[in-house]
Structure 1
Amino acid sequence: MIISPCISICRTDPKTGYCYGCGRSNDEKKIWKAEDTTDDWKDNNIKEIRSRLTGWQLESFNESYEYKIQNGISLFKKKLLNE
């Protein structure tokens, strides 16, 4: 099972249409939720997301996504729980 790339920073860039947090379009978010979406599609989408993001945004995504994979929660949500 491939974990959703959502890192709980859900704001869409009006210029590109991509989420500032995970780099997905609204259509991609819908595809992720569909029961018939394959792991191959999800794996390819993760690669595509990483190719869209650069600099601090890519670093932040990678750090939070890896944390989510290992701990089941994004760094943003972890911070909210600790406040």
Structure 2
Amino acid sequence: MIVSPCISICKTDPKTGYCYGCGRTMQERKIWKLEETTDEWKKENLEIIQKRLTGWQLESFKESYTYKIENGISLFKKKLLDE
């Protein structure tokens, strides 16, 4: 199973249409939730969205996504729970 790239920062840039947190479009977010979406598509999409992100945004995504894979929760949600 491939973990969703959602890192709980769900705001869309009105200019690009990409999520500030994960870099996906609304359509890509919907496709991730479909049962018939293949792991191959998800792997390709992960590569695509990481090419959209740059600088601190890309580093923040990688750090939070890695944490989510290892711990089952994004860094953003963890910080909310720790407060």
> Structure 2 length normalisation: TM-score?
1.00
1:21-76 CA-partner distances (Å, limit 9, x unpaired): 00000000000000000000000000001100000000000000000000000000
Partners of 1:16 and 1:38 in 2: how far apart?
26
Task: Give 4+ residue runs of structure 1 displaced > 4 Å after superposition.
Answer: none
Q: May I ask how many residue pairs the two structures share in their alignment?
A: 83
Q: Which runs of 5+ in 1 are unaligned?
A: none
- Which residue pairs with 2:67 in the alignment? 67
Structure 2 counterparts to residues 1-80 of structure 1, below 5 A: 1-80=1-80
> Structure 1 length normalisation: TM-score?
1.00
Partners of 2:13 and 2:57 in 1: how far apart?
13
Partners of 1:33 and 1:55 in 2: how far apart?
28
Matched to 1:8, the amino acid is S
Q: Which runs of 5+ in 2 are unaligned?
A: none
Q: Kindly, what percent of the aligned residue pairs are identical?
A: 76
